[in-house]
Amino acid sequence: MAEASLAELQDRIAYRFRNPELLQEALTHSSHVQERARGGRDNQLMEFLGDAVLNFVVTTHLVRTFPHFDEGELSQVRANLVSAPHLARVATLLNLGQYLRLGPAEERTGGREKSGILVDAVEALVAAVYCDGGLDSARALVENWILPRDLEQAVTNLAPTNYKGVLQEYLQARRRGPAEYKVVEESGLEHQKIFVVEVRVDETLTARGQGSSKKAAEQQAACHALGELRKRERSGD
């Protein structure tokens, strides 16, 4: 692969490798090594390591961002963020397919666009940055390219949890009245509206959420209210 192409990718991810061979290994599919009989290393070990690093970085970020989530909710969100469909979209944004080193047969069968190969390459890239620059560099790559910019907004879409239902069950179990939802703000064009919804629990708690639909805004508001209620319960308030 031409050095210019590798330089272009490094510019894209805003990381310059001290050892470019690590990047080359991350981009080398097993078919390249097997079919060209050149020896060398493919990216399978890198992919294995990258999967572990990615899960660790995403987990620590989620725990810091959503301290009120329980283990099940955190696991659900993390599973979506490290899922094959999400990582394949990341690979597309990075144009990662054009940098891959493939064997002739894999090249002929469209390997540069195969989801499985692209997902492995993303994980291998995370590992390569980790091996070359350490955890902070790998964390920067993950936060810039794999974690959504507005994570709180994205959680409503990524996690299938029905927070309105969970909140209702939480309140019923504690013999408290139902939550009340109200649209307090609308903005944007008719086909690109943003809704802000306020949820009220008794007279003791108010939380807000926003989204591109009333339903999404209500779910986010319920999520925030649930987190605050759990935090108060843990602290004894």
Q: Are residues 141 and 204 in the same domain?
A: no
Q: Are residues 131 and 19 in the same domain?
A: yes
Candidates 48, 7, 49; CA nearest to 24 is: 7
Question: CA 122 to CA 141: how far, in whole Å?
Answer: 10
Q: Domain range for residue 13?
A: 3-149
Active-site annotation holder among 25, 123, 198, 218: 123
Q: Are residues 131 and 55 in the same domain?
A: yes
Q: Are residues 37 and 127 in the same domain?
A: yes
Q: Tell me the average pLDDT across 133-140.
A: 98
The answer to the question of residue 13 being in a domain is yes
Question: CA 187 to CA 25: how far, in whole Å?
Answer: 48
Instruction: Return the pLDDT at 208.
Output: 92
Cβ partners under 8 Å of residue 176, min gap 6: 201, 202
Q: Are residues 168 and 145 in the same domain?
A: no
| pLDDT tens figures, 170-225 | 999 999 999 999 999 998 877 778 899 999 998 889 999 888 788 888 988 998 89
Task: State the total domains in the chain.
Answer: 2
21 is catalytic: no
* Least confident piece of the model among 31-45, 78-92, 162-176, 213-227: 31-45
Q: Are residues 145 and 207 in the same domain?
A: no
11 is catalytic: no
The answer to the question of residue 141 being in a domain is yes
Active-site annotation holder among 51, 132, 198, 218: 51
Whether the Cβ atoms of residue 211 and residue 203 lie closer than 8 Å to each other = no
